[in-house]
Amino acid sequence: MSSSQAKTKKNITLAQHAGFCYGVKRAVETTKKLKLQNPNKEVFVLGELIHNSLVIQELENLNIKKIDSPSDCPFKDGLCVIRSHGVSPAVYRELEEKGIEIADLTCPDVKKVQKKAIELAQDGYLVIIIGKPEHPEVVAIKANAQEFSQSVYVVSSTEDLKEIEEQIKLSKKVGIVVQTTQRISLLNEISNYLLPKVAELKVFNTICASTTLRQEDAKNLAQKSDLMIVVGSKNSANTSHLAEILEDITKTIHIETDSELDLYKETIENSQNIGVTAGASTPEYLIKKVLDKLNQY
């Protein structure tokens, strides 16, 4: 190899913590196993099992159907998978009333958030859930807490807190839980905003360990990279947060598949040290395809 070729050879590094987290891996593997064990039974998932279109297509190819609500289910003798995000108690009751067999694959970390939110509601706290209001995990956490109190709010910024300022002032006690895939910086920002405004503030950092490890690992890699590539669905909260965090450190691009790398050819060619990370719902084979294509540069 000539010296000029050696100089242009790129350093491509995959983050240590990238791709499927425990909860997602468990959900995907168990769902496939359930279909394998019940070949003559209709197996379906309530909502998208994970936020990744390639994995969803893979499940459809195995004849594992997706439904949007229990009322969409025509299979009385079917098996319904509850995805890692969890569901509301009302949805769970509706499935039971229909006599449908349930496989509850709610992530254990998400279950912990639900439990903490319920405890706060039962103890008379105004409950604040930090997260995206429309995200299925957050919808389920809120619904579980609302079984015991109507003083439950979802916020994603300090601006959102200003809209419930009166309710906060009237409350003697405020409790916080967090969507498992959120940023620790947002939790700190909202906690610090509330601290001087309430008599008692109880904060549960319910961001899962996998999310924290993934974010810290990616941040360390970004500090040594000219370019960071984040692989995963644009609909995935944890993947989007990962990209947002890294954008503050170095040049970052967020792609869903290896084919999108062609859109950033010039940027890649002009980068020497490239770091790659991936969201919790990104399968290993997709990460490998991205790495293989990068190595072609």
Assess whether 134 carries a catalytic annotation.
no
CA dihedral 163, 164, 170, 172 (to 10 degrees): -130
Other CB atoms within a 10 A radius of the CB of residue 287 amount to 21
- 256's CB contacts (< 8 A; 6+ apart) are 53, 231, 232, 233, 234
- 38 three-state secondary structure: coil
Q: Do 135 and 141 contact (CB within 8 A), yes or no?
A: no
| Burial (CB count within 10 angstroms: exposed 0-12, middle 13-18, buried 19+), residue 113 | buried
- Which of the following is catalytic: 94, 137, 189, 200? 137
Distances (CA, A) of 9 to 69, 194, 259, 297: 51, 50, 21, 9
Question: Which of 186, 194, 193 shows the shortest CA–CA distance to 215?
Answer: 186
- 122 three-state secondary structure: helix
> In angstroms, what is the C-alpha Rg of the chain?
22
139: left (phi over 0), alpha (psi -120 to 50) or beta: alpha
Output phi, psi for 86, to 5 deg.
85, 175
Write out the catalytic residue numbers.
Answer: 137
